[in-house]
A = this chain, B = another copy of it.
Amino acid sequence: MQTYAPPLRDFAFLLHEVLRAGESPVPALRALDPETTAAVLAEAGRIATEVLAPLNASGDRAGCRLENGGVRTPQGFAEAYALLRDDGWNALDCAQEWGGQGQPHLLGAAVGEMHVSANMALMMYPGLTHGAYSTIRAHGTEAQKRIYLPPLTSGRWTGTMNLTEPQCGTDLGLMRSRAEPQADGSYRITGQKIFISSGEHDLTENIVHLVLARIPGGPEGIRGVSLFIVPKFLPDAAGAPGPRNALSCSKLEKKMGIHANATCVMDYDGATGFLLGEEHKGMRAMFTMMNEARIKVGLQGLAQAAAAHQAAVTWARERLQGRAVIGPSDPAQPADPILRHPDIRRILMEQRAFVEGGRAFLLSTAALVDAVEHSGDPEAAGRLALLTPVVKAFLTDRGFEACVNAQQVFGGHGYIEETGIAQFLRDARVAMIYEGTNGVQALDLVGRKLPADTGQHIAGYLRETGEFLSACAADGSLPAEFLGPLAAGAADLGEGVAWLASEGPADPAGALAGATDFLHLFGLVCLGRAWADMARVAAAALAGTPEDPAFYEAKLATGRFYMARILPETALRLIRIRTGAGPVTGLAESAY
């Protein structure tokens, strides 16, 4: 049986003690007062536990069904969605101007983690809606905003993103879908899109598809792709859904996981679409949605790991097998809880160190989104762009691994679906794939984000980390068992950057052969910094007389595990990066 306990104490610690939202220059962050925030998070957590989590396994078993062109979501999903919508959760971090609550993305991310932990498949329906909202808000005309933003914000409508076609995944330049201009300024959209999450469902009165297609006569390849708003029902001037548009879901994919989310083949048969942004500049607009989605996908990896870890801890407490080498916890029992065995502790600590470190990293990135949105500061925007592929790929690669490890704690009981632990792994797996595979994230990081703006953003990250380390060394605020490993990890990162900068231009294949390793090296250091931030706060708190010393002691203990056993992986990653292309491409293509 899946259950879920919201990590409220951790959120309070991160928001107010580590990130110090109250001292932020961003008004929306500064406005997060601890009491109100705690109440909001507690209510969001209650919904996760009481409403969303109970539908997770049943939704997985039932899946979605395609009936007469409509998709039926699993029992209970419509009611749960209505509750989220009616209580305003969809609109939490949308602008008040469009009916949202104007809360910062930081709070949205905390709420999102809990809701996605409890039910990833269900949360994908509203999840992409926010991306559609952001894209229309950034690139739409005033009329488009007036028609589409209020219902997307309120959750009366949902949104989708339509990129992939059978022959065209990562390489969107291969796109074939066409958009023919009509006399009234609209376009006729024709083509097939695949892997469309939430492409059709029974949760709302309308669905707004954002669709990439080619306007005939435009440039070849990716520079000839435009973005269109293609609603399922065409709204009238007042925004009321009217005639059915010429689009349909022709197939639901059978997938390894997220059974309860409808992954649709969408057929556009001369559907009416409206240009969003400029002609042939579709990718620019779509990247608004993709960048937001990539952070949300990173959150999925983290959230599934968090839920799976909780389940594994519960199992490890309750399952009695064998006598612990450190002595029995209760000799009257026939055996010890497996939590007492060192190898089980090791595997649980790996999960915990990832989940808590990943959560801190993700929330700091969400706060950065708020800062960028508020200030438009190009340095902050560059940092966010740099970190986005790391958030997406590192948190999903490691989140999946944590789910595998959580399943392992269950032994044979983990492999049967009855215990519910396998679902976290099956659901989490997709996050490594969609919104650009993790390999593509690594290429984006090494090929685009590192050299962007003459490399100043990664240089800034390294400089800031160096300054942080110097300051910690000077004031003794960071315990020694954190300072040394983080300095070593940061040095490895610096070496990796230097190698890529010196070798990459002449040998791009060599740089790209190490792209995934570099992304993991960077991610390891990002979580190392997050752990250092937490450790400083925890150590300072323990120097006083905190109400709950056990919380801070646990933080330090978990952080020490990360520093001693996880972060040293940076050295291995650096070794691999430095091997360059030789070992990777040494085997001739013809020899495969």
Contact = CB atoms under 8 A, between A and B. Distances in A.
Nearest to A430: B415
B417 A433 contact: no
A564 B550 contact: no
Given A174-B334, A342-B513, A561-B584, A408 B550 contact: no
Given A422-B256, A557-B586, A414 B433 contact: yes
Interface size classification for chain A: 35 or more
Interface in A320-375: 320-322, 325-326, 329, 334-335, 339-349, 352
A255 interface: yes
Interface in A421-466: 422, 425-426, 429-430, 432-434, 437-439, 442-443
A513 B343 contact: yes
A544 to B, nearest CB: 20
A378 interface: no
Given A170-B322, A512-B342, A516-B343, A432 B408 contact: yes
A591 interface: yes
Contacts of A138: none
B411 A170 contact: yes
Nearest to A253: B416
Nearest to A570: B572
Interface string A556-575: 01101100110011011001
A589 interface: yes
Interface string A179-201: 00000000000000011000000
Nearest to A568: B575
A174 B588 CA distance: 55
Interface of A: 164, 167-171, 173-174, 194-195, 253-257, 263, 313, 316-317, 320-322, 325-326, 329, 334-335, 339-349, 352, 400, 404, 407-408, 411-418, 422, 425-426, 429-430, 432-434, 437-439, 442-443, 508-510, 512-513, 515-516, 550, 553-554, 557-558, 560-561, 564-565, 568-569, 571-572, 575-576, 579, 581-592
